[in-house]
């Protein structure tokens, strides 16, 4: 009986350890994401766009569905002249946040600009 109780306690401890590791890993990802976005916003406000883009790319690697990060990256790619990347990111923002009119208008103005239409023809279609 004592041996069975000992095995039960060890199993419970092992399960608790696994649970704590999983919870700890999730918090770590959230805190990293928050840190990257916060630092990116600071750089963006200071007009240090290259540094901001690096932070937003790091945040994007952790969460590819964050509308704020997608929007800022879209603006960065738009400023650099990468029409395809900018359009894809801004389109994703519009999917995630249908009421984000800034992203929608930016995407529409950019997409229907006569200068950009030939570059966007090669863009893969969104589902």
- CATH number of the domain encompassing residue 49: 1.25.40.10
Most confident range, picked from 9-18, 32-41, 109-118: 32-41
Indicate whether 7 belongs to any domain.
Answer: no
Tally of residues, the chain: 127
pLDDT at 21: 57
Indicate whether 19 belongs to any domain.
Answer: no
Q: Does residue 13 or residue 100 have the better pLDDT?
A: 100
pLDDT at 84: 84
Indicate whether 108 belongs to any domain.
Answer: yes
Indicate whether 33 belongs to any domain.
Answer: yes
Mean pLDDT of the chain: 80
Contact present, 71 and 103 (Cβ < 8 Å): yes
Indicate whether 23 belongs to any domain.
Answer: no
Where in the sequence is the domain holding 33, given as residue range(s)? 29-120
Please give the tally of structural domains in the chain. Answer: 1
Indicate whether 37 belongs to any domain.
Answer: yes
């Amino acid at each position: 009986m004592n041996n069975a109780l000992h095995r039960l306690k060890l199993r419970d401890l092992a399960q608790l350890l696994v649970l704590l590791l999983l919870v700890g890993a999730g918090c770590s990802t959230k805190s990293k994401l928050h840190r990257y976005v916060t630092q990116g916003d600071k750089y963006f406000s200071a007009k240090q766009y290259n540094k901001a883009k690096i932070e937003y790319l790091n945040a994007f690697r952790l969460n590819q569905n964050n509308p704020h990060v997608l929007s800022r990256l879209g603006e960065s790619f738009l400023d650099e002249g990468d029409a395809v990347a900018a359009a894809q990111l801004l389109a994703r923002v519009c999917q995630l946040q249908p009421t984000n009119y800034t992203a929608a208008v930016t995407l529409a103005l950019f997409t229907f600009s006569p200068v950009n239409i030939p570059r966007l023809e090669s863009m893969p279609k969104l589902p």
